[in-house]
A and B are shown apart, each in its own frame.
Chain A
Amino acid sequence: MIPAAFDYEVAESADHAISLLGERGDDAKLLAGGHSLIPMMRYRLATPSVLVDVGRLDELRYIRTGNGTVSIGALTRHSELEHSAALAEACPMLASVAALVGDPAVRHRGTLGGTIAHADPASDLPAAVLALGGTIVAQGSGGSREIAATDFFTGYFESVLADDEMIIEVRVPSGSGGWNYQKFNRRAQDWAIVGVAVAGGGSGVSLVNMGSTPIRASGVEAALAGGASAAEAAAAAADGLEPPDDLNADAEYRSHLARVLTERALNAAGVA
């Protein structure tokens, strides 16, 4: 539980962080809340040679609403999402999902940009942003770019972010529509064994921990668009997926949970 040795740099600005990432190559990692990265380092599953601490970049802690969009600074803590009156008004689903991440200690340290960059298929907020049709704004040495959430996640803990890019902002459309999030786990603090996010009355459905990335349940969305009932659409929740096997759930049980939870989420989101 002692991490391997590493250097530590404090970023004074996003530009500074990006330049440090450029200098130190792919062994550098950004440190935000640290509640995913540091446990991996303690188990020596991650051994970055340098941590670039962006946790003090308060200019990236904000929630702005307007023009049909909610813009959230990457360093905004989960607890700030959870307790923001503006977010509760503009995107209640994101506020609600943030309240289910880990435990209070995790939510007071963890950041929205951090959890999305970490790209853990078992995390709650990436799937919520995916279901909401969000956009990730990334900045690198070559400038900034906007990436649709649907294009962001590429594999297990992997994304399209370049080694010298960092997430600056996350945008989601205002108004969640008919929404619901089902998180199934054994202990309150745990990752979801399976989670289902429904937004926009079923126009956006995504799954947690059902593959190597947060996944849009395209079969469910297509069935609903074709006029299927919630129960009929939910039956397709696990179609074509290769969910993981672990101590909590094998693939067969996960697929079953995905179907049950999808139907529950759709019903709770007002889809009959």
Chain B
Amino acid sequence: MTVTEEAPGHVGSRRLRKEDPALLTGEAKFIDDLALPGAIWVGVVRSTEAHAHIVGIDGSAALAIDGVNEVLSGEDLAPLWGEGALPCAWPVTPDMKSPAHLPVARGTAKYVGDAVAVVLADSRYAAADGAAAVVVDYEPLPAVVEIEDAVADGAPLVHADLDSNECYTWGLWGDNAPAIDAAFAEAAHVVSERYLQQRLIPAPMEPRGCAAVPSPAGGELTLYSATQIPHILKVMTAVVLGIGENKLRVVAPSVGGGFGCKLNVYAEEILCSALAMQRGAPVRWTEGRAEAAVSTIQGRGQVQHIELAADADGKVTAVRVKLLADMGAYLQLVTPGVPLLGGFLYHGCYDIPNYMFECTSVFTNRTPTDAYRGAGRPEATYAVERAMDALAESVGVSPEEIRARNFIGADAFPYESAAGLVFDSGDYQAVLDKAVALADVDGRRAEQAQRRASGSSKRIGVGFSSYVEMCGLAPSRVLASLDYGAGGWEAATVRISPTCKVQVVTGSTPHGQGHETCWSMIVADQLGVDPDDVEVLHSDTAVSPTGLDTYGSRSLAVGGTAVYMATEKVIDKARAIAAHQLEASEDDLEFSGGVFRVRGTPDAEVPLAGIAFAAFTAHDLPDGMEPNLEAHVTYDPPNFTFPNGTHIATVEVDTDTGDVDLIDYVAVDDCGVQINPLVVEGQVHGGILQGAAQALYEDAVYNSDGQLVSANLGDYLVPSAAEAPRYRLDSHATPSPTNPMGVKGVGEAGTIAAAPAVINAVVDALRDLGVTDVAMPASPQTVWRAIADAQGGAS
């Protein structure tokens, strides 16, 4: 066998991550690792009531503790921010209600976890002791806990100054309402389903924390925070506190995961910044794990009504969705927009001509919600994929057949959806076919039938989830049309040093994704250098002043594209120098493997290293050319990207106990061109487990008083590696035409796909027992009850 030797590119290879040695050896520095001698430690006193007047705050016992220096109420702190509120950047409608949101409440506490006072102390331990010793006198008020109760007649008001608990109603149907009504009137099959998206606690490995450090002179402030968004945080902190942006620097040190919950501007960041400026001393706070359950945003929290109209063959003619979404007590940075991110996708990957989406968002006396891995898209995918299975059952065809009859065709791209998006590329049927073969669906079905026939208590179920998501957030003009308060571009700078080492400065902000590795691979291939000769700088506004950070699977499609384009600009400049040196026309030069060559002229070549040094010395550059090899690009994407895939979950359900065992999980994803399949697989593995966690384990349970009952990791069941299924992955790339590398994004795909695949599998396992729905999370007790109810009462 002969092997053709070609210079192998780095892109597409399973290169180990350059981030990992520091993480694995403990060398990486997280927020709580920062040594800040003389810092004031903040302890936050949090409301134990869901809704109550704050009658009095007694700090005397706290002040008696050694090391506790001050106890400050919301009233005491008000001069730091006046009426200034924590920011919400997404007023989705002109009449959206946006209640004033202070870092520390004044007068009324509105959810369990609401900050009502702070303790300033010499150490983290004293701060915790002090916060525990502050006595708050509450006069309880009626609380609104569940979503539907918020809009019931006579519901108590979360905000007494508003006339209802409704935050906004946002719709997407244009003038299509008559056509939708007609579609339902003429339908041979109508599916009408109601699903609950339970609240989830993001629970990244590292909780939040921040430290604000003022300069001894000059009025500058550096804010360190375990955040996904140093750039956005900088702008918002400057605006809220009136600090000049030129005086403010924000640094995200190593950040241990975020999943969206660190895409925010939090009370503690504003509090520490304001106190540091006032006191002229470092002020810091580190979140505790139990504290995080109530003080960091939660995800999901929706009641979904979805209806499908279909003809006799099961071809869907219309989808109609009405959503109730739980904002919690206040609006955080992008709280109101989360349901909208799903609002365009309730038709899933299907060609459905008539589309109606309406979301009413409500306030409740619970921790605010906001973006959590997938942010609106997992919810949309869940609803449509569950409803498609219900339709398959109604029509009497298999789940894969109902999908095949409705997929957007591979020849239909670019495809303009009824919701108004233009899908970039895909071959949904090919993806599904691959998944069906890999999952051995026929074999599983035979086993399922055999077990049913034998009366086995161990039932087999196979569940499908075909998804499409929008990421690569986002074209700035589209964000403008959605009333989002910022753009969606990303910035990059690429510099080549005199010795031909490469410095990449990215506005993307990694917190576990592997940007340093992937950006290095991209640039190394473009320039013909070793990836280890590329450094990637990020997450510090003094080093990377321009950026819009990391969320919504945008880093590669937007930030990576900016890096790619900046590198191309550097190559263009290098080519001009090479042409000058070789006395050739630029058009006659080719560049590969780090060398410029004159086509057809052997030996007429110059390596990039030589050009880098020449650009540095500037002794002999073309007339008028600036020295040095450096380029900056700010890339505003022309469209979203649309990753897609089909996931198939296989479960074994013990009908005696209700226990669900996820015995196999197949995922075939189209995330476009893969830079590093190892990184892609890591994202897909973690994403699937996070989605399966919603399906089977995780639930932020509130009791009727508004107390979070599942507030610790013993009761809030984040699955571990032991619960992970056997993953079997494949891919089917259709390069995105939207960007030059053809990439789409993969950070959320697994989470978006997994929950409906798992629940569809559970329902499939139990369908012959009469079970048509199982609520999330499908705990053993919930499944056992569903079986018992379907069988006509408790066993």
| A interface residues, Cβ below 8 angstroms from B | 1-2, 4-5, 39, 43-44, 103, 184, 186-190, 193, 246-250, 252-253, 256-257, 260-261
Contacts and interface: CB of A to CB of B under 8 A. Distances in A.
A223 to B, nearest CB: 20
Contact of A250 (B125, B712, B781): B781
A193 B659 CA distance: 12
B697 A186 contact: yes
Max chain B Cβ within 10 angstroms of own Cβ: one of A39, A184, A188, A253: A253
B710 interface: yes
Nearest to B710: A247
Contacts of A187: 697, 717, 719-720, 722-723
Contacts of B781: 248-250, 253
B194 interface: no
Given A187-B717, A188-B723, A253-B781, A5 B657 contact: no
B32 to A, nearest CB: 12
Nearest to B133: A4
B269 interface: no
A207 to B, nearest CB: 15
Given A2-B129, A4-B132, A256-B795, A186 B712 contact: no
Contacts of A261: 657
A36 to B, nearest CB: 11
B22 to A, nearest CB: 23
A43 B290 contact: yes
B712 A43 contact: yes
B701 interface: yes
Given A186-B780, A187-B723, A257-B657, 18 more contacts: A1-B290, A1-B291, A4-B129, A4-B132, A5-B129, A103-B722, A184-B659, A186-B696, A187-B722, A188-B722, A247-B709, A247-B715, A248-B781, A249-B780, A253-B781, A256-B784, A260-B656, A261-B657
Nearest to A189: B720
A91 B720 CA distance: 30
| Chain B interface bracket (under 10, 10 to 19, 20 to 34, 35 or more) | 20 to 34
B638 interface: no
A44 B291 CA distance: 13
B695 to A, nearest CB: 13
B142 interface: no
B720 A2 contact: no
A186 B697 CA distance: 8
B288 interface: yes
A252 B784 CA distance: 11
B723 A2 contact: no
B124 interface: yes
Contacts of B569: none
B453 interface: no
Interface in B699-752: 699, 701, 709-710, 712, 714-715, 717, 719-720, 722-723
Nearest to A246: B715
Closest 7 CB pairs of A and B: A2-B128, A188-B722, A1-B288, A253-B781, A260-B656, A1-B289, A249-B781
Interface string B167-201: 00000000000000000000000000000000000
Interface in B614-663: 656-657, 659
Contacts of B132: 4, 44
B215 interface: no
Contacts of B699: 247
B7 interface: no
Interface of B is mostly: loop
A260 B128 contact: no
Which residue of A43, A187, A250, A260 has the most chain B CB atoms within 10 A of its CB atom? A187
Contacts of B657: 184, 257, 260-261
A5 B125 contact: yes
A115 B368 CA distance: 39
B779 interface: yes
B794 interface: yes
A247 B715 CA distance: 7
Interface in B744-783: 779-781
Nearest to A249: B781
Contacts of B780: 184, 186, 193, 248-249, 253
22 contacts: A1-B289, A1-B290, A2-B128, A2-B288, A4-B132, A5-B125, A103-B722, A184-B657, A184-B659, A187-B697, A187-B717, A187-B720, A190-B717, A246-B715, A247-B701, A248-B779, A249-B781, A250-B781, A253-B780, A253-B784, A260-B657, A261-B657
A186 B722 contact: no
Contacts, number: 64
A44 B129 CA distance: 10
Interface in B506-526: none
A186 B718 CA distance: 10
B134 to A, nearest CB: 14
A247 B129 CA distance: 29
A186 B128 contact: no
A12 B710 CA distance: 40
Contacts of B720: 103, 187-189
Interface in B652-679: 656-657, 659
Interface string B265-279: 000000000000000
A257 B654 CA distance: 12
Nearest to B709: A247
Contacts of A256: 784, 795
Which among B132, B715, B781 has the greatest number of chain A C-beta atoms within 10 A?
Answer: B781
Contacts of A184: 657, 659, 780
B45 to A, nearest CB: 14
B124 A2 contact: yes
A189 B784 contact: no
A249 to B, nearest CB: 5
Interface string B111-123: 0000000000000
A110 B612 CA distance: 61
A188 to B, nearest CB: 4
Contacts of A5: 125, 129
A11 B125 CA distance: 26
B717 to A, nearest CB: 6
Nearest to A193: B780
Nearest to B43: A2
Contacts of A246: 715
A252 to B, nearest CB: 7
Contacts of B715: 246-247
Given A247-B709, A248-B779, A256-B795, A186 B717 contact: yes
Nearest to A250: B781
A165 B79 CA distance: 57
A187 B722 CA distance: 7
A135 to B, nearest CB: 31
Interface in B318-372: none
Interface string B200-218: 0000000000000000000
Contacts of A248: 779-781
A1 B290 CA distance: 7
Contacts of B125: 2, 5
B791 to A, nearest CB: 14
B119 to A, nearest CB: 12
A184 B656 CA distance: 12
A188 B717 CA distance: 11
B704 to A, nearest CB: 15
A39 B712 CA distance: 11
A243 B226 CA distance: 43
A261 B288 CA distance: 38
Contacts of B124: 2
A247 B784 CA distance: 15
B763 to A, nearest CB: 19
Nearest to A260: B656
Contacts of A250: 781
